[in-house]
Structure 1
Amino acid sequence: MYKILANTIFLGKDVHFLPECHSTNDKAIQMIKEKVAHEGTIIICEHQTRGKGQRGNKWLSEKGLNLTFSLVLKPSFMDLSEQFYLNMAISNSIRKLLQEYITSIKVKWPNDLIVPEYGKIGGVLIENTFSGDGWEFAVVGIGININQQSFESTKATSLANITGNQFDLKELFRLLITQIEQGYLHLKRGNWAEIKNEYLYHLYLKGEWSNFKDDRGEFKGLISGVSKEGKLEVELESGDIELFGLKEIVFLNY
């Protein structure tokens, strides 16, 4: 059982543990609609049967071996057009914890955690809820492969596979929530340039000529940054810079 965290200010003071659920994000959104969730609420599930990833992909996880949870935030200090800074702050926080165990971890745009020589170890999916006044809550879904050792996808890996060790999920959860809260408060204090610089410094393939594909075909490009809205900035061989949204570009090197 995951307990209320004592070493945080607001995250993890309201923890809901579910032995099984379809999706912790869906459960969090339901609780928001029922007005039983607030900023800092966390829903953690031992076995998530229909976890969601980016691009409509599924996040498959074996029972009791990984961390799959959602947390509820109310970033009312931000405009909806600036929400990618929340993405970056969360991604940075997860990477900071994981790099204590794996030094070569990178963030693959927009918010996958990967170890290039092994594969994907985790990911983030942020879904927003709205009220009559606009942006109400951000539901941050997080999945990290910890002790699972076999995967359907050859592009997936885990902390255990890379290090050869087994980990205490409850302790990693406590450390991760503490790190995420610190990152969120960093964002709330307005340190946005620092957050973006850190994100870009650890961004997979940034500054490297790589192979990509869009709806026009394959091409070579060099990731140069991300826009304020979170679009990927790619320099083409012609020298032009193009911006790509989530479903508009495919990484062929990964």
Structure 2
Amino acid sequence: MRTISNTIFIGKILYSLENIPSTNAWVQEFINTHEAVEGMTVIAANQNAGKGQQGKRWESEPGKNLLVSILLKPAFMEVKSLFFFNKAIALAVMETIRRFTDKQVWIKWPNDILIEENKVTGILIETSIQGNKIKNCIVGVGANVNQLYFNDLPNATSLAITEKSEFELQDIFEELCMQIEKYYFILREKKLKEVDTLYHASLFRKNILSAFKTENHFFEGIITGVNNEGKLIISVNGSEQKFSVKEIIFL
């Protein structure tokens, strides 16, 4: 994979690796042992211990998908604004996928990317905090690009499946770096309301009656939004309820 020519800082320092446990873990180890520059990027052909949200294993066929982690240092952001960072990254990844399909692309709370109703991309952001500021964010993105079969993942898809065509991973990698940099600069300009509005405009199942499951029961409700703490807001029989990531499952 080649370094990026049309960004200012993301992807300028690039480590392109064949087989590692996890791109996020590789970046974290690098931070622990080296002076790491913001925008440093690692990309792998295969990772054998990749993780998604809540520690779930990330399945990826070697050489078929985009597995990338980017180091960002948003010291300009306070910890209370952390979920705006998540929203901005989700928007960047969504915009990347939209460049390669005409189908509907959604953000499924908190930051999975769907083509129609099937997951095409996962995002794992690992953050370190210093005082009330964000020190480092390792942004891990796993995008299903050319993989055609997924074991025991009935709701997974890829660009190759939806578009019936193979893609150059370099093209998607370059678009991803450009989009993340674009939205990162939007955050730097303190345009949090713009980020929030765009996120909600692409929120999966917003304002649609949907079924959910918590630890204790099944219920129906309408997603009305996501608050600044990152909690999902659902209207249930006219009463608003808020849920954290581990508290609720979409059905």
TM-score (ref. length: structure 1)? 0.94
Amino acid at match of 2:191: N
Cα displacement (A) at 1:101: 2.5
Check conservation: 2:79, 2:132, Cα contact below 8 A. Answer: no
The answer on 1:151 being equivalent to 2:150 is yes
In structure 1, the partner of 2:38 is: 39
Check conservation: 2:77, 2:134, Cα contact below 8 A. Answer: no
In structure 2, the partner of 1:99 is: 98
Instruction: Map 1:32-111 onto structure 2 (within 5 A).
Output: 32-102=31-101, 103-111=103-111
Amino acid at match of 1:205: R
Q: Secondary structure at the match of 1:206?
A: coil
| Per-residue CA distance 1:154-208 (angstroms, 9 max, x = gap) | 1111000000010010121111101110111111111111111111111100001
In structure 2, the partner of 1:164 is: 164
Q: Secondary structure at the match of 1:50?
A: coil
| Per-residue CA distance 1:200-238 (angstroms, 9 max, x = gap) | 11110000111001122111111001111111111111x
Cα displacement (A) at 1:132: 6.7
Instruction: Map 1:1-254 onto structure 2 (within 5 A).
Output: 2-102=1-101, 103-117=103-117, 119-131=118-130, 135-152=134-151, 153-237=153-237, 239-252=238-251
Q: For the residues of structure 1 that align with 2:176 and 2:242, how far apart are their CA atoms?
A: 32
Q: For the residues of structure 2 that align with 1:53 and 1:70, how far apart are their CA atoms?
A: 12
Q: Secondary structure at the match of 1:63?
A: coil
- Alpha carbons of structure 1 residues 133 and 84: separation in structure 2 relative to 1, 3 Å: closer
Amino acid at match of 1:127: E
Q: For the residues of structure 1 that align with 2:143 and 2:67, how far apart are their CA atoms?
A: 7
Q: Secondary structure at the match of 1:51?
A: coil
| Per-residue CA distance 1:116-145 (angstroms, 9 max, x = gap) | 34x110011100124577532000000000
Q: For the residues of structure 2 that align with 1:15 and 1:125, how far apart are their CA atoms?
A: 19
Cα displacement (A) at 1:37: 1.9
Amino acid at match of 1:107: I
Seq. identity, %: 37
- Alpha carbons of structure 1 residues 193 and 132: separation in structure 2 relative to 1, 3 Å: closer
Check conservation: 1:29, 1:129, Cα contact below 8 A. Answer: no
Q: For the residues of structure 1 that align with 2:66 and 2:225, how far apart are their CA atoms?
A: 30
Aligned length: 249
Q: For the residues of structure 1 that align with 2:66 and 2:99, how far apart are their CA atoms?
A: 17
Check conservation: 1:32, 1:38, Cα contact below 8 A. Answer: no
Cα displacement (A) at 1:10: 0.8
Check conservation: 1:50, 1:58, Cα contact below 8 A. Answer: yes
Q: For the residues of structure 1 that align with 2:88 and 2:134, how far apart are their CA atoms?
A: 18
Q: Secondary structure at the match of 1:149?
A: coil
Residue segments in structure 1 that go unaligned for 5+ positions in a row? none
Q: Secondary structure at the match of 2:245?
A: coil
Amino acid at match of 2:186: H
Check conservation: 2:148, 2:161, Cα contact below 8 A. Answer: yes
Amino acid at match of 1:159: L
- Alpha carbons of structure 1 residues 95 and 132: separation in structure 2 relative to 1, 3 Å: closer
